[in-house]
């Protein structure tokens, strides 16, 4: 019985600790995942797909990210470029931003540099509120203001047959019925830029820019996408080891 009770106790510990240990580990099908955490290689693609971001136009790495590092944009020409083809259907775009500017570009999918030849899938601020546009659908606005100088996570989920769903800090803030992009000749993604904004270039900090090849659920946005690059696995493992030590001592 003593050994049975010990086994049951171990099982009860391993299950919750296993969940906690994976809390910051995203198993999402990212096309790219730019954590901006590596000072020596700030554009590293954490997805393993090799879709590296290149800091251009005066964009600089900073250690003042939402988690770890981030990129600072000066509102002039600074941007991060990822040369990649991305899905037009069933996708999710996500990014952490920090700005006090009310009319700036954030994120977009482009043909050539600065949108020459075509541009689409825009995140931008208008009067401080987050706006989106997925071509051939119209631009649409939410009532959520995020230009308060604090960190906010913005995500757009586009699902075939269901339309677009926007989230800020894990909460749904708007929907639109256009369910895909018709812009299929893209060659790059620019972070820190949108042709649809009054000021194309972003001013402030951006962290954890992701493009995911799946239409995520609300729970996945909140429980996985927002914590894609939060590294929390070590501490739970240490706690489990300490707890197991206590079990061995007691028995």
185 and 125 inside one domain: yes
pLDDT interval class at 13 (50, 70, 90): very low
Residues 61-75, mean pLDDT to the nearest whole number:
97
Top pLDDT among 6 and 187 is at 187
42 and 1 inside one domain: no
Among 1-5, 77-81, 235-239, the range of highest mean pLDDT: 77-81
Bridge partners of residue 204, in order along the sequence: 73
Total domain count for the chain? 2
Q: Residue 3 sits in which domain range?
A: 1-23+234-251
Q: CA 105 to CA 14: how far, in whole Å?
A: 45
Residue 78 confidence (pLDDT): 98
pLDDT in tens, 134-155: 999 999 999 999 999 999 999 9
pLDDT interval class at 241 (50, 70, 90): very low
240 and 225 inside one domain: no
89 and 51 inside one domain: yes
DSSP 213-227: SS---HHHHHHTGGG
9 and 116 inside one domain: no
pLDDT in tens, 180-210: 999 999 999 999 999 999 999 999 999 999 9
Q: β-strand 139-145 against 129-133: which pairing, if any?
A: antiparallel
DSSP 61-128: EES-SSSS-EEEEESSS-EEEEE----SSSEEEEEEEE---SSBEEEEEESSGGGTT-EEEEEEEETT
Residue 117 confidence (pLDDT): 97
Is the pLDDT at 242 greater than 70, yes or no?
Answer: no
239 and 133 inside one domain: no
Residue 145 confidence (pLDDT): 98
147 and 168 inside one domain: yes
Residue 230 confidence (pLDDT): 85
Burial of 17 (0-12, 13-18, 19+ CB in 10 A): middle
Q: CA 169 to CA 227: how far, in whole Å?
A: 11
Q: CATH number, domain at 84? A: 2.60.120.200
52 and 107 inside one domain: yes
- The pTM of the full predicted model, rounded to 2 decimals, is 0.83
Residue 1 confidence (pLDDT): 40
Is the pLDDT at 227 greater than 90, yes or no?
Answer: yes
176 and 248 inside one domain: no
pLDDT in tens, 97-111: 999 999 999 999 999
Cα 245 to Cα 21, 51, 54, 238, 251, distances in angstroms? 18, 43, 47, 11, 10
219 and 243 inside one domain: no
Q: 162: part of which helix (H) or strand (E)? A: none
SS3 at position 234? helix
Q: CA 223 to CA 33: how far, in whole Å?
A: 16
45 and 154 inside one domain: yes
68 and 9 inside one domain: no
């Amino acid at each position: 019985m003593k050994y049975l009770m010990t086994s049951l106790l171990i099982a009860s510990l391993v299950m919750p600790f296993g969940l906690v240990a994976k809390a910051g580990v995203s198993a999402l099908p990212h096309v790219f995942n730019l954590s901006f955490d590596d000072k020596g290689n700030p554009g590293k693609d954490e997805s393993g797909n090799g879709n590296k971001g290149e800091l251009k136009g005066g964009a600089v790495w900073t250690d003042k990210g939402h988690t770890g590092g981030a990129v600072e944009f000066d509102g002039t020409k600074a941007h991060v470029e990822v040369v990649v083809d991305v899905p037009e259907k069933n996708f999710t775009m996500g990014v952490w931003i920090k700005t006090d500017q009310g009319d700036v570009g954030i994120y977009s999918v482009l043909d050539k540099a600065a949108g020459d030849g075509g541009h689409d899938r825009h995140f931008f601020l208008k009067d401080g509120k987050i706006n989106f546009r997925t071509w051939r659908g119209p631009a649409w606005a939410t009532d959520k203001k995020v230009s308060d100088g604090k960190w906010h996570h913005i995500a757009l989920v586009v699902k075939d047959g269901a339309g677009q769903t926007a989230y800020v800090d894990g909460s749904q803030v708007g929907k639109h019925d256009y369910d895909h992009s018709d812009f299929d000749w893209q060659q790059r993604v620019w972070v820190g830029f949108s042709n649809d904004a009054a000021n194309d270039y972003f001013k402030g900090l951006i962290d954890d820019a992701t493009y995911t090849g799946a239409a995520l659920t609300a729970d996945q946005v909140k429980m996985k996408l927002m914590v894609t690059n939060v590294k929390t696995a070590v501490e739970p493992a240490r706690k489990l080891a300490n707890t197991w030590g206590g079990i061995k001592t007691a028995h």
